[in-house]
Structure 1
Amino acid sequence: MTSRTPIALAASAGACALALGVTAPAMATPDQAQDKAMVSVFHGIPGMTVDVYANGDKLLSDFKPGTVTDPQSLDAGTYDIQVFKAGQGPDGTPALEKEVKVPEGGNATVAAHLSAEGKPQLTAFTNDVSKVDAGQARLTVRHVAAAPAVDVRAGGQPVFTDLTNPNEDTTTVDAGTVNADVVLAGTDTVAIGPADLNLKEGTSNIVYAWGSAQDKNLALATQTLSGMESTPNAVHAGGSGAAAAQNSSDQWLAWAAAAGAVTLTGVLVTRRVVGRRG
């Protein structure tokens, strides 16, 4: 579902970024770029520091909850993504495993998170990096928390409604600052906020709601991708990832609606290299 509103809304939170442990060329030729994709990883499972592997190669070590990586260039193809408790891979049993297809020229974030029922799972989201009009920015909200549906309001008016796990919703808004809050779906009961949120022109801002309502450890994390300006000299810089945690003992919520979810395969032992498309 895609909506448009003149209200500026975004998540502002202290940034914490961790780059993927994959070396990408500083500059790629057009032919090389066509064989590549930009991939980020978000860790949204509370209380578990992990190592992340792709096709048997370690991408991330000691990856902490609430962190989203900067986008990194990977070869297009299919990857066997495995998540281990830190120090237990690659010969141990993964806590999570899923094959994820990365298309040429794509931009995606793979999220390890809790389902609505509180079970760990992997979900792959496609990041919209298309250009926005001058003075505009894009906001995407992703619900990856064990929590119920909510409405997101800006200036007291609903922007996203009935958002559920593991979905997302997106809107293009005026760049700027707005007072926003989150309420239980269909009510005026505030679950989080209000807060002043900022959205910069020409950016795509992705907000993750993660954690568990039952365990009272819900948090927010943000990922910002830059280079979406619709000006003649705009250059797509590939973006930057940022994450921030904002915990509360009595705040609970669930955000977002509709984007390609990848189902958890459970604890699998099959792990070796899945064929890449060169």
Structure 2
Amino acid sequence: MPNLMWTWQEAAAVTGVLAALWGILRLRDAGHRVQPFLREASLIIGLYGLWQLAGDLAGSGTYAAVGRGKWIWDVERTLHLPSEHTVQAWILPHPLLVETANLYYASMHFTALIVFLVWLFVRHPDAYSHWRTTMALLTAACLAIQFLPVAPPRMVLGIGLADTAMQYGQSVYGTVGGFDPDQLSAMPSVHVGWAVLIALCAYRVSTSRWRYLGTAHAAMTIFVVVATGNHFWADGIVAVALLGATLGAQAATRSRIRRRVTGRKDLTKPDVEKSGLVDVM
């Protein structure tokens, strides 16, 4: 199955072209309607390129990555989390379901994000900058962790989880001595983090019944990444926790800024009490 996702080199090239076009239009004071799109597209694709680069850099330390994957499996069993085996068992007897799950994993991750960002940019421009920043911060937090290589469950020997994409010839990854470096950035799951962000944003900014497509996409993504053996439950849990921390940090920052602005305004007001004007008013 062909890999539908760009490499970090391809993403960097596209980012450079879009950024250059934006710079030219800005210098010439032209294309005012196109400029915001070019700026945002270059930013988003640049972030995607960084995510892919993190996957490549995480390729060092292959055996340590597998050991960390096994450790996550053991911790999940200690915490009595549901077994990933149960989810795989639901689809393995049904080839069509397996192939559908593999295809969804391979194609919908970045596609859904692009559709979401375009929809948000066009239909809800007032909310766009906040949620785009949230996505950027979440991605950066995930990347920071992903520089520590962690293998997905399908690559961890001895736990019995199948590599469904490999079994059906739908793997988007090449092989390098049995491993592709891009696969060793499983913790946390950017798939789950982005999908839950899309669901949360769509629910909060829209009143349309179509907003529940975001919720359906998040649920489907969580199911698919586990059923295909690409992520542990813990990968998704950490991603969602990072999303919560990102939103909390943004809220705290906005509150602090408001307090500072309010404080400055109060300092510029005349002291009406000391001037004796309170009684008059």
Give 1 or 2: higher helix fraction: 2
TM-score grouping bracket, smaller chain normalisation: under 0.3
Of structures 1 and 2, the larger Rg is shown by 2
Give 1 or 2: higher strand fraction: 1
